[in-house]
Amino acid sequence: MAIDFKIPEHVQQQADMAKMAAEFMMRPVSRELDENEHARPTAFAENMWPVMRDMQKKTLDRLSTPPDAEKKPERQSTSNLRLMLMIEMLSWGDAGIYLCLPGGALGGAAVEAVGTPEQKMRFLKRFAEGEVPAWGAMAMTEPGAGSDTSAIQTTAVLDKATNEWVLNGEKIFCTNGKLALEESDGLVIVWASIDRSAGRAGMRPFVVEAGTPGVKVTKLEIKHGIRASDTAAILLENARIPADNILGSPEVQREGGGGFKGAMATFDATRPLVAASALGIGRAALEFLKDTLSENGVDVPYGQPYHKLTAIQRDVIEMESQLNAAYLLTLRAITLLDQRQPNNLESAMCKQKAGKVVTQITQKAVELLGMMGYSREWLVEKWMRDGKINDIYEGTGQINTLIVARRILGYSSKELG
Amino acid sequence: MVSFIPSDEQQQLIDSIRKFATNDMQPAAHDADEHGSIPAAVLNKGWQIGLVPTAIPEELGGLGELSALNGVLAAEELAFGDLSAALAILSPALFATPVTLYGTAEQREVWLPGFLEAKPPKTTAALLEPGIFFDPHHLKTTAVEADGGYVLNGHKAVVPLADDADVLLVYAHDESSGSTEGFLVNKGTAGLSIADGEKLMGLRALPTFRVSLDNVKVDAPCRLGGAVGSDFNGLVNRMRVASAALAVGVGRAAFEYARDYAKQRQAFGAPIAQKQAIAFMLAEMAIEVDAMRLQTWEAAWTLDQGEDATKKAYLAKTYADKAVMQVADSGVQVLGGYGFIREYPAERWLRNARGFAALEGIAIV
């Protein structure tokens, strides 16, 4: 081990392929899907399905292979690095369409992170086989519970007679909820309380499969950006699911947060991926800005003293170094994952920085390009609208700052609320 | 393969300098700043770390390991201890590194073995010039070919340890090549004069000087790299990376002090760190220090790959110039009134931090 920034060649090749997909499958329909909210990027989903399906199949195959059979010398995994660069490139193409990528997504990630081997096989198989795409989703937020997940009202009660959980409540802001529940044989991870008096310790993720009676998509949000991606509201009315669709222990442990704490650890894996998407949008805006400036006779030199730069050149240099900072913080969080090292602090840091940077870069790009930046003729204004969500979902910038603060100070959530 | 975990050797380097920085440099920093001088014991111990001898080529008796990455790891730790002392300890490299990289065989043989001795030769380098609008690629100091040698004219500023130096590496605009070149100028050469010590806002423990060159004549072999000259842009990249690394060290010192202070300072019945207004400032400081460091590492790594690091080095430095000011300013702010009192180190870090954007070429990796 040593400090090293070399991206392995096979990983870079995959990223280059993702960039091709972004250029030829996403950019051409980017504007059209933005203007026609709730239309589906069908061609993209169908084209990407075999890729995503085979990736999922590989992870499941590894699961069913006895560990001894493939005991290789300990090598650093590249799976998270590959995912990061792929997401960055696809989001460079179109962040809204990227979110429609078929597969388990956040729902699958939760199953991977805390599911038993049996659960992984049972739930993830649908993302590893078949000719038509399937989607997974995560439903945590409620009208009265955003960052404060202890305020979740949805309940899960075990009906011992039928050995089923009975779910009741309302979920909102569920990315791909409709694709997962009504337009494919997918699944949604629904967070519900098994003991309202236990607060966070009573919270558990449940797997709700498509076609479950009592589950209904009631609304698709109309949004500022990422309009190609559906954001669903879901109503659960006496929705019955098998007893072993609970992820983690059904017992409430009041000390140490119980199963909830373990499940929250999935954020350490998903936050850098949101950061990666932010990086892609930021890169799209910055590249376009530089190309356009160059076509208009303004090039940005690197190495000139400050007093020899114009205001626009200074802005671009600032944007570029900010983006690079966010990229490296994300690369670090991802690399730690691949090295199986703890990354709670680093993942919150990269998400906070990338969310902020993409917001600032895209807003600045619109400003610098004047009326054409503001025009819907170009995609810059869209990137500004798409970028902002990265400072909000998967923990707002403020929540991630709070996590960083707690970590560096060694404080619990009681000591620093 | 991407990794942010230092090798065992890198970690040893970090640990040993961190120990020195914490036990020797930090305790001496306040008085050094107030009195305008660094204790000899600190300088001696700093030299014993052996940073420069490691980089001297093998055929001349060194280890031949001129690693920019090791350089930035060391520079961060030294600046974490004290920026003035760090610059003094690293100052031999201002001369040794350019000679190692671009010196002629003769220049290397004459000058480099001395850096393997128990005490380094007294050397320095003069790049900065007095006035505003400094551009290292368009210096006002000139070198004109004459009588088989060069004549140097101009003024230099913030030259570290110049009063004590036996030889100076003076950078000047070479009229024949049209670019910046280095010239080895011995102490006592006619026309070379060193003024009284410079008075700066920060770096007060580091003796720096104005240097004037009035028709200073040097022989042709005194040009760095002889007839071939040097890749000055390559040197600038190394200076920028060094500057960024030192900024990380200052930022980290300011951050860690503020963090520890906020945890023990009570207000309204609890440590102020338990207020989001303070905790969020500290979180931002932590993120910015890491952001600076990662860019610095990346630029240094790029240098070590032998690739053109101009863009990476420039971005790392411009980022660090700004970020270290934010961090150092927040460091003062978290301490409130105590942040403004010279008995506490926070204001010194703020004064020192301002130097990064204002000064160029006072360190190199």
Is any Cβ of chain B less than 8 angstroms from the Cβ of A290?
A: no
pLDDT at residue number A59? 87
Which segments within A120-199 are labelled E, that is strand?
136-139, 155-159, 164-175, 187-193
- The two three-digit tokens of residue A171, written as one number: 């979920």
Residues in chain A: 417
Q: What is d(CA A157, CA B311) in angstroms, rounded to the nearest whole number? A: 59
**Tokens 């609208």, residue located:** A385
> Which of A321, A408, A355, A329 is CA-nearest to residue B334?
A408
Residue A199: which pLDDT band, with cuts at 50, 70 and 90?
A: confident
User: At B359, which amino acid appears?
Assistant: L
Contacts with B273 from chain A: Cβ below 8 Å:
409, 411, 416
pLDDT at residue number B347? 98
Q: Which domains does chain A have, with CATH numbers?
A: 9-127 (1.10.540.10), 136-253 (2.40.110.10), 263-409 (1.20.140.10)
Per-residue pLDDT for B235 more than 90? yes
Of the two residues A264 and A358, the one the predictor is more confident about is A358
Q: Which domains does chain B have, with CATH numbers?
A: 8-116 (1.10.540.10), 123-222 (2.40.110.10), 232-358 (1.20.140.10)
Which range (A64-68, A310-314, B53-57, B140-144) has the least confidence?
A: A64-68
pLDDT at residue number A110? 87
In B, residues 99-138, which contact A (CB 8 Å cutoff)?
A: 132-137
Per-residue pLDDT for A74 more than 80? no
Q: What is d(CA A15, CA B344) in angstroms, rounded to the nearest whole number? A: 50
Residue A263: which pLDDT band, with cuts at 50, 70 and 90?
A: low
CB pair distance less than 8 Å for B287 and A7: no
Query: Per-residue pLDDT tens for A345-402?
Result: 999 999 999 999 999 999 999 999 999 999 999 999 999 999 999 999 999 999 999 9
Kindly state the percentage of chain A with pLDDT values over 70: 95
Contacts with B72 from chain A: Cβ below 8 Å:
none
In A, residues 214-243, which contact B (CB 8 Å cutoff)?
A: none
Per-residue pLDDT for A258 more than 80? no
Q: What is d(CA B325, CA B319) in angstroms, rounded to the nearest whole number? A: 10
pLDDT at residue number A94? 98
pLDDT at residue number A69? 55
Is any Cβ of chain B less than 8 angstroms from the Cβ of A68?
A: no
Residue A109: which pLDDT band, with cuts at 50, 70 and 90?
A: confident
3-class secondary structure, B195: strand
Query: Per-residue pLDDT tens for A113-165?
Result: 888 999 999 999 999 999 999 999 999 999 999 988 889 999 999 999 999 99
Among B2, B274, B295, select the one facing A416 at the smallest CB separation: B274
In B, residues 168-227, which contact A (CB 8 Å cutoff)?
A: none
Does the annotation mark B360 as catalytic? yes
3-class secondary structure, A215: strand
In A, residues 325-344, which contact B (CB 8 Å cutoff)?
A: 325-326, 328-329, 331-332, 335-336, 339, 341
Contacts with A352 from chain B: Cβ below 8 Å:
283, 287
- The two three-digit tokens of residue A196, written as one number: 């309202």
Contacts with B317 from chain A: Cβ below 8 Å:
none
pLDDT at residue number A71? 56
Per-residue pLDDT for A255 more than 60? no
pLDDT at residue number B154? 98
pLDDT at residue number A64? 78
Query: Per-residue pLDDT tens for B88-120?
Result: 999 999 999 999 999 999 999 999 999 999 889
Tell me if A273 sits within 8 A of A393, measured CB to CB: no
